[in-house]
Amino acid sequence: MTDLFFYGTLRHEPLLQRVLGRDANTLSVDAAILSDHMVYSVQGQDFPMILQEAGANAQGIFVRGLSAEDLARLAFYEGGFDYDLQPVTVVLEDDREVQAQVFYPAPGAWMPGDPWSLRNWADRLGEVTALAAEEEMAYFGKVDARAMSRSMPAIQTRAWAKLFARQRKTGDPRNVANDVVVHRHTRAYVDYFGLEEIELQHRQYDGTMGPVLNRNGLLQGSAVVVLPYDPVRDVVLMVEQFRTPLFLIDDPEPWMWEPVAGMIDPGETPEQAAYREATEEAKVALDALEFAGGAYSSSGSSTEYVYLYVGSGALTETTDAGGLETEGEDIRTRILPFEEFISLVDQNVFKDLPLLTLAHWLVRHRDRLRA
């Protein structure tokens, strides 16, 4: 059995429970301090790191009697973040000194930012991080921890999307707790996307439960799509980039003209993501957003929900260097007069469904925006 000191996100009980796969009431936990250490946020990340710092005290929890299974699960969870266990001495609330181990970041792996606050982090990201850990830990024993690190940003994005989805009610009186029976639910594959398999029954319109169905779903986060429009010049801006799925289906033209689009990051609102993506992909600063609706992009196969916007602003310049190199994006932009844009829509030149949806929305609302 092993005793550990946790100073960061694993002090958050719902997260620790999901990582260990058991209830907190099965754990022996005490408040503790690690002297001459300080906990900092990691620059550009939402998790903390601990550093030696004379005179400082790192607040945390001391957890006794962790099993080999617990340690393996923790190593899997922390392994994707370049953290390793090292021995330390911590002080309990009754001033007793006890030996423990703590996850330290690999030297040089991260750069410290501001001092880190558990409460601030939990208020903002505690729920989504615990939900993301639920998906990650489903692959414990199936996927290497290092390989999981590549999937973690996408897993967190999916968890954030799931929290949005839980609030997506329109007044349907049916209740999935009574009208859906799950027989088997398997997380079959994880990478940038997740693939889940399920066997279920759902209540039919005659009131009876239907047959057991075997279905698959492509797990994705929520996305924003925004079509930049300049109401003064009466022009729209589109982006073009290579799309691998088009290539995989043997489309001879896998370079797609689209609106600006991107995933909603954990902690972001759809509007914040729309403004950010417009800057990243098209190098334009929008003045305002018009919400044009939201919908599932392909409800028979994918969980992706898309928030649609038309963004107004001055559109005078294009770029051949849009997107982020860190995400492998290679994007160029194009500005078209509205009439030419709609003519190309009517000629079926464009293949992107959100682009067509926003084009038809803009036809109906253009006069109001120009006024």
List helix spans (H) across the chain.
13-20, 68-79, 118-121, 127-137, 145-165, 176-179, 244-248, 270-282, 338-346, 353-370
Could you read off the pLDDT of 148-185 as tens digits, one per residue? 888 989 999 999 999 999 999 989 999 999 999 999 99
CA 176-180-182 angle, 5° bins = 120
Specify the CATH class of 2-143 in words: alpha beta
Structure confidence at residue 81 as a pLDDT band (50, 70, 90): low
User: What 3-state class would DSSP assign to 225?
Assistant: strand
Which pair of tokens denotes residue 77?
């969870």
Q: Quote the pTM value.
A: 0.88
User: What 3-state class would DSSP assign to 294?
Assistant: strand
Structure confidence at residue 80 as a pLDDT band (50, 70, 90): low
Tell me if 2-143 shares its fold with 223-370.
no
For the chain, the domains span 2-143, 178-219, 223-370
CATH 2.60.120.380 fits 223-370, yes or no: no
Sheet holding 180-190, edge to edge: 180-190, 194-202, 213-219
Kindly tell me if the per-residue pLDDT of 105 is higher than 80.
no
Could you read off the pLDDT of 236-245 as tens digits, one per residue? 999 999 999 9
For residue 83, list its beta bridge partners. Answer: 105
- Contact residues for 268 (Cβ-Cβ < 8 A; gap 6+): 160, 276
Which pair of tokens denotes residue 30?
């005490």
Could you read off the pLDDT of 255-311 as tens digits, one per residue? 999 999 999 999 999 999 999 999 999 999 999 999 999 999 999 999 999 999 999
Kindly tell me if the per-residue pLDDT of 327 is higher than 80.
no
| End-to-end Cα, the chain, rounded Å | 71
